[in-house]
Structure 1
């Protein structure tokens, strides 16, 4: 009898687990099926000190964009070359995992394009998240190291392949094949963006024509005759169609009839094709980076990708305050939008730090040194956003308005305006506790996070970090936040 009851109990337990698993699966599927209400763009901005990092922008309609995080980088690479370009953002089928993958490359540190292409990194930089707001530390993924003579691994993309239940990662590598050295597109498979299969040649245009940028978009209802479409910068902007990601592709045409090319026929020379399915309708956007003229991305639209004659230019669009370079766009559900905007969509006010005892002077940066001056010009040199402390969110950090991603930081008790490098040391050096003013309680003083016996003060008009022991020092260490 006892054994019978045990068997019944075990059966009931198994049924509960099965039902629970089915419910959890249904929740995941429901989450993946939630309607999309907005868009998220991941991009970089250029070869400035902080330009080769991960930036995010948000749009409701797919054409008008707002910079997130006040136009500052959202994710910083602290691995490899410590810079990233060409980010792609990837969603899992059940929307329970997201990845950002990017080229491991930083031109701003003085790397030449020749060195980058011939002696560069064969790895990608990867971030992982379950909610789009909390991201893992960056890690390196060596995708091209097994390619003989590989000089680089550029412009990565990834797409889930339902035929095999894993992801196809594809990118460009500069290597010699059949006696010709040029960029070709290779691919690997992965299930977790941690391990990959051996790299395999994917696209080779033949002769001497290289190819660096290519991106695939899915047409679930096969509008235009194909399930997948591919846009490539290969001298033209070439459009191809296929019903299988790794199957044969049919050339549909290019955009030369619109006066748009990748250089082979002149006109508006562009690169970095970036697809964007419009939410809720059979229409696609194709964004192209006008790198030759420095004008940034321009959008084309089409309701039928089966012919390049269906593409149209768009004049009513806006890209926000930062320059958008080669990136990727992902649709967002309402819940995802809410989380992303709560984290990075808050626009923090612009403030100035007025000296207590020299009230015509304000804290400002000049050639990345920090001092107090009257009549600051340009005014933005004295404007900062008071951000949650990088080392402690209950404290504060001072981010420059005209150098987003740069913060006031103490170094050897002196102050500099420095690019945030993501390290714990930087976080501590750039974090301060706002307390009642040491000379007047209606003003403020700023206590160092990692040297709590020291405060921000000015001395001979230079900003310093000092212990405060005299009345003069208390006056020097007191400031007012003004608009």
Structure 2
């Protein structure tokens, strides 16, 4: 009995110490864990506006465009344009996905075609670090919906009850004789396959619903674990204690003058240091982009307030329907290091000064009168292998770099491997033909330089005067 009592006492003390440690250290970890905010969004119409853009904020209200306001990812699949991106982090924080509408208005597709015969697929990217992203792929989500005409505005939320994601989106389909947009859902664990789509949200009569986003609310705030905001003629607020359970209508934001005829694309953001939320709404009717609406209780429409004049700044680009992720300090550092405001440059040939390095069909050459001009524009980054070197990233195909393969150059997508980094990294040295210009020595073949031959870009040894001239360039605006 004394031995048992002693053992129980030891267990009790250990439990108290463990509990005390959790109580004391958990808030410290939480405080240290969150840093800035990352917004992913698109910026407008056209082939370049309907791509992936990133913006960063330290306070959730004042935003800076990353990558100098340029796109950060470009879709090369489906319609080759994307809208309404959603940024998803795995529960363990070791994987990320961007899911987006496969839609490019004004790029060979009209609104009428998109509504009635659009893409049934979503565009998906995956990353392990928020910095190096996979090539995009198409995920067919609406093909199994009877008379499904499109797939728009995707979102996903982790469901702890089933250990996978509830992926939901809008599809224009006929049900009970009525053709309109409704919200459907499916389950997925990796965004490569989905379960059979099911109807999720339907509004009475002919009322469409296209945009909806769910936020999980901490215990002690409001009466519901989950709150969703939807664009359905109003900005409707609903609450539930289960993602796929019964949802209760709580009201809308017409009381502060915001209706579905003015705003769309609801985007939730919780401030990391307090129980306050911003519901960003895209002012599509006036083309002004996002407006933050503030609340201390997402489930109480009466608690929402318009921001004070001058209290927020959305940065230089128009930010359209997207999502916001609260970053850990490590994520924050990686994101800011990957997409600094680096100048856009061109590489001018020394001995053919009307010609510039450009990509065409992912081959690389020097040409005059480059069209589109962006094909000859690059960001001269810190080299992929580290400081003291440079790498050349395409402006209109972000994530694609000048890379030699078999000593011939191509514009290739960074696959994150050490081999790619070495092949796409160079040392910028004094020009071999003119020291006021530049030459670029290969990182992994230091006896070779970037050089044009018959106007094609190669990696060659350089010995003659002609070869030195061929290997000399000016980095210019």
- Is TM > 0.5 for Structure 1 vs Structure 2? yes
Structure 1 residues 321, 259: closer, same or farther in 2, change over 3 A?
A: same
1:294 to 287, 297, 302: 287
Superposed, which structure 2 residues align to 1:317-332 within 5 Å? 317-332=312-327
- Which residue of the partner structure matches residue 18 of structure 1? none
Superposed, which structure 2 residues align to 1:43-54 within 5 Å? 43-54=41-52
Give the Cα separation in 2 of the matches to 1:339 and 1:364.
29
- Which residue of the partner structure matches residue 145 of structure 1? 143
Deviations 1:70-121 (A, max 9, x none): 3222222222222221111112222222221111222242111121122222
- Which residue of the partner structure matches residue 397 of structure 1? 392
- Which residue of the partner structure matches residue 10 of structure 1? none
Conserved 8 A contact 2:157-2:165? yes
Conserved 8 A contact 1:286-1:300? yes
Conserved 8 A contact 2:441-2:449? yes
- Which residue of the partner structure matches residue 307 of structure 1? 300
Deviations 1:172-230 (A, max 9, x none): 00000111101000011122222222111111111111011000111121512111111
Give the Cα separation in 1 of the matches to 2:129 and 2:76.
22
Provide the alpha-carbon RMSD of the alignment: 4.2
Give the Cα separation in 1 of the matches to 2:264 and 2:471.
51
- Which residue of the partner structure matches residue 276 of structure 1? 269
- Which residue of the partner structure matches residue 435 of structure 2? 441
Superposed, which structure 2 residues align to 1:451-470 within 5 Å? 455=451
Tell me, yes or no, if structure 1 residue 347 matches structure 2 residue 341: yes
User: Where does the alignment leave 5 or more consecutive residues of structure 2 unmatched?
Assistant: 1-21, 23-27, 359-364, 403-410
- Which residue of the partner structure matches residue 76 of structure 1? 74
Give the Cα separation in 2 of the matches to 1:388 and 1:49.
28
Conserved 8 A contact 1:390-1:397? no
1:133 to 131, 134, 137: 131
1:224 to 217, 222, 225: 222
Give the Cα separation in 1 of the matches to 2:46 and 2:159.
36
Conserved 8 A contact 1:71-1:404? no
TM-score (norm 2): 0.75
Tell me, yes or no, if structure 1 residue 200 matches structure 2 residue 201: no
Structure 1 residues 364, 339: closer, same or farther in 2, change over 3 A?
A: closer
Cα deviation, residue 351, structure 1: 5.5
Conserved 8 A contact 1:72-1:404? no
Structure 1 residues 423, 407: closer, same or farther in 2, change over 3 A?
A: closer
Deviations 1:347-385 (A, max 9, x none): 3246676887999x99799xxx99889xxxxxx999964
Conserved 8 A contact 1:78-1:422? no
Structure 1 residues 405, 294: closer, same or farther in 2, change over 3 A?
A: farther
Q: How many residues align?
A: 424
Give the Cα separation in 2 of the matches to 1:291 and 1:390.
39
Cα deviation, residue 53, structure 1: 2.0
2:115 to 91, 113, 117: 117
- Which residue of the partner structure matches residue 330 of structure 2? 335
Superposed, which structure 2 residues align to 1:46-65 within 5 Å? 46-65=44-63
Deviates more, 1:136-145 or 1:472-481: 472-481
Q: Tell me, what secondary structure is at the counterpart of 1:441?
A: coil
Conserved 8 A contact 2:84-2:153? yes
Conserved 8 A contact 2:99-2:122? yes
TM-score (norm 1): 0.74
Structure 1 residues 399, 92: closer, same or farther in 2, change over 3 A?
A: closer
- Which residue of the partner structure matches residue 22 of structure 1? none
Deviates more, 1:466-475 or 1:109-118: 466-475
Structure 1 residues 34, 98: closer, same or farther in 2, change over 3 A?
A: farther
Conserved 8 A contact 1:445-1:456? no
Conserved 8 A contact 2:297-2:303? yes
Give the Cα separation in 2 of the matches to 1:68 and 1:480.
26
Structure 1 residues 67, 179: closer, same or farther in 2, change over 3 A?
A: same
- Which residue of the partner structure matches residue 21 of structure 1? none
Structure 1 residues 100, 399: closer, same or farther in 2, change over 3 A?
A: closer
